[in-house]
Homo-oligomer: A and B are copies of this chain.
Amino acid sequence: MSGSTAIIGSGLIGRAWAIAFARAGWSVRLWDPAAQAAAEAQGLVAALLEDLAANDMLRGQKVEEVLGRISTAPTLSQALDGVDWVQENAPEKLEVKRALWQEMEPLAPAEAVLASSTSAIVPSLFSEELASRARCLTVHPINPPYLVPAVELVPAPWTSSDTLKRAEEVMRAIGQAPIVMRKEIDGFVMNRLQGALLEEAFRLVADGICSAEDVDIGIRDGLALRWSFMGPFETIDLNAPAGVRDYAERYQGLYENLFASMQRRVDWTGPVMEEIETERRQRLPAEQLGDRQRWRDRRLMALLRHRSQAAEEVGE
């Protein structure tokens, strides 16, 4: 399946979505309210595509092929003309989103799915007043979606099941791994899971139990090894002889005993941050943050190549 998509807002997330759709054969139209922004975005996308090609992440295509599918539109209405999908990437301000969606929605073809990339705004808040609100939802990526497969599909109470189904199909078609939520909730799924883990991580450091690096070791050299190819439920399903129920029956007591001591949060920007920041800046001076981000992206690409290969050789 392929089609055409309008990318509304050509910042970091918009450009990343443009790559994800165009790489999968979709034609992409970029629009941004700032003059020249969409045209500049095309140049930035071209540079990113070179980097992806060098890392074998374009599924065998040439940069020009993918880039050739991405154009810019001078007006919002021209961007939306005839598209199958609209991906909105406006700033994370509710008033901005509301105004934009009010403008966007009547201009988009009746059959198009309208999706917001927002990481923090539940879709009911910007779609309630819209005439065709049943086709509106949040489709939130972990940036950048052309590398990280998981995306959250978050329905408002009025999002139709048909819209959710089409959104799932489109995301699968471009190579993402959709989390199909049944209802909206603050933090969606991934930030809730990340938040729960981070709260405990900050508490452990604040309480003098261990260092921030110790937490990173426990995840990087411990728990996340299996999580990175199975997830936590499959992990516990395989960690007791008779599966997940057996695991819960054997070990719930252990976790239940810890719960009371997790009912308090520490201020992440309070005294604990002095310690964490000192530790991090000793390991990685501020002026090396940019280099380390590029290292992270190369490691991520290498990991993804490994995952494809392992899925083929060992099984998925």
Contact = CB atoms under 8 A, between A and B. Distances in A.
Contacts of A263: 263
Interface in A234-265: 234, 236-238, 241-245, 248-249, 252, 254-259, 261-263, 265
B148 A214 contact: no
A188 to B, nearest CB: 9
How many subunits of this chain does the assembly comprise?
2
Contacts of A216: 230-234
Contact of A189 (B180, B181, B218, B314): B218
A243 B148 contact: no
Contacts of A221: 148-150, 177
A254 B194 CA distance: 11
B196 A200 contact: yes
Interface stretch (A33-41, A99-107, A269-277): A269-277
Interface stretch (A66-74, A130-138, A284-292): A284-292
B232 A209 contact: no
Interface of A: 120, 142, 148-150, 152, 177-183, 185-187, 189-201, 204, 207-234, 236-238, 241-245, 248-249, 252, 254-259, 261-263, 265, 267-269, 273, 276-277, 280-281, 284, 286, 289, 292-293, 295-296, 298-300, 302-304, 306, 310, 313-315
